[in-house]
């Protein structure tokens, strides 16, 4: 189907229509060989509450955005290369059904379809496109994924200290490493994670210690690799360097304590035991 539609007038018109809906705020989507395979509205589990989002599946990218006027105007365009995508089917909750997770190295999030059949179709088409791309490029499936953010309303207390209660004055924060909802005292540190952002990001105290330990191990490994080289150069001495020239207003809603959010080696209930 992709080969049949590539570089056809009907495909060009469909892509142009999507570009027009996003307007000047969106990026150009037309490329030689790119095909628009389908579109639909999915519910995305956002930080504050689930929201409808328009999704467009191309043969090499997944595009989604916010709906201003359906079929006429969209904004907040996001483009995800399919080579970086891994899918994970999730169990239903009382609030959301027909769920699955879209995992990438920069961002992971949960979406849900209107029916089980619709979810199967989306996952089937996504997996087929991903498989085709990986075969074409010779790449292996991505193994490093950003942690999905736990929704704000999933808890009314900090998921690290389990003592601080959130309120209008006591804000919720998210650790960019584990995605947990944490208080300010449990997330005062910042850490540079180039895979996610060029700037240091907020992390919880536990993840900060883990990241520091990983960085120390990497530095020690690099040092062991350079030491044999330095010792092999007569008269080599390391230089000393001396001669060098963005509050949540929504009402909190309690979620059941046994709700299963995402697949994780650590269970949610363990943080309240």
Sign of CA dihedral 94, 95, 98, 103: negative
* 163 Ramachandran zone, left/alpha/beta (phi>0; psi -120 to 50): alpha
Taking the CA atoms of the chain, what radius of gyration do you get in angstroms?
A: 23
Domains present along the chain, CATH in parentheses: 3-137 (2.30.29.30), 149-220 (3.30.40.10)
Average pLDDT over residues 115-119: 96
Residue 69 is classified by DSSP as E
- The answer, yes or no, to whether residue 4 has pLDDT greater than 80, is no
pLDDT in tens, 176-210: 999 999 999 999 999 999 888 899 999 999 999 99
Distance CA 129, CA 25 (A): 27
Does the pLDDT value for residue 257 go beyond 70?
A: no
Phi, psi angle pair for 140, to nearest 5° = -95, 155
Cα separation values, 116 from 9, 51, 96, 119, 130, Å: 33, 19, 12, 5, 21
CA atoms within 13 A on the CB side of 194: 1
DSSP helix/strand/coil, 246: coil
pLDDT of residue 201: 94
CA dihedral for 167, 170, 176, 177, sign (positive or negative) = negative
Task: Read off the pLDDT of residues 150-171 as tens digits, 9 standing for 90 and up.
Answer: 999 889 999 999 999 999 899 9
Q: Which residues pair with 215 in a beta bridge?
A: none
Tell whether the model's pLDDT for residue 85 goes beyond 70: yes
Average pLDDT over residues 48-71: 95
């Amino acid at each position: 189907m992709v080969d049949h539609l590539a570089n056809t007038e009907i495909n060009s018109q469909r892509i142009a229509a999507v570009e027009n809906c996003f307007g000047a705020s969106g990026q150009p989507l037309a490329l030689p060989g790119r095909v628009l395979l389908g579109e639909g509205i999915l519910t995305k589990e956002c930080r504050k509450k689930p929201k409808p989002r328009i999704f467009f599946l191309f043969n090499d990218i997944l595009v989604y955005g916010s709906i201003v006027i359906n079929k006429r105007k969209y904004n907040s365009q996001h483009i995800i290369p399919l080579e970086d995508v891994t899918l994970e089917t999730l169990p239903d909750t009382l609030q959301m059904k027909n769920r699955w997770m879209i995992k990438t190295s920069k961002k992971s999030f949960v979406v849900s379809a209107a029916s089980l059949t619709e979810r199967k179709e989306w996952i089937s088409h996504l997996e087929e496109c991903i498989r085709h791309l990986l075969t074409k490029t010779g790449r292996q499936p991505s193994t490093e994924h950003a942690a999905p953010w736990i929704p704000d309303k999933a808890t009314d207390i900090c998921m690290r200290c389990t003592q601080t209660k959130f309120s209008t004055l006591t804000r919720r924060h998210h650790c960019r490493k584990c995605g947990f909802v944490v208080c300010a005292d449990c997330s005062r540190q910042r850490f540079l994670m180039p895979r996610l952002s060029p700037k240091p990001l907020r992390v919880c105290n536990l993840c900060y210690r883990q990241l520091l330990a990983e960085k120390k191990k990497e530095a020690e490994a690099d040092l062991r690799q350079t030491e044999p080289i330095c010792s092999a150069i007569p008269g080599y001495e390391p230089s000393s360097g001396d001669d060098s020239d963005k509050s949540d207003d929504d009402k909190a809603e309690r979620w059941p304590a046994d709700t299963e959010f995402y697949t994780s080696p650590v269970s949610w209930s363990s943080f309240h035991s």
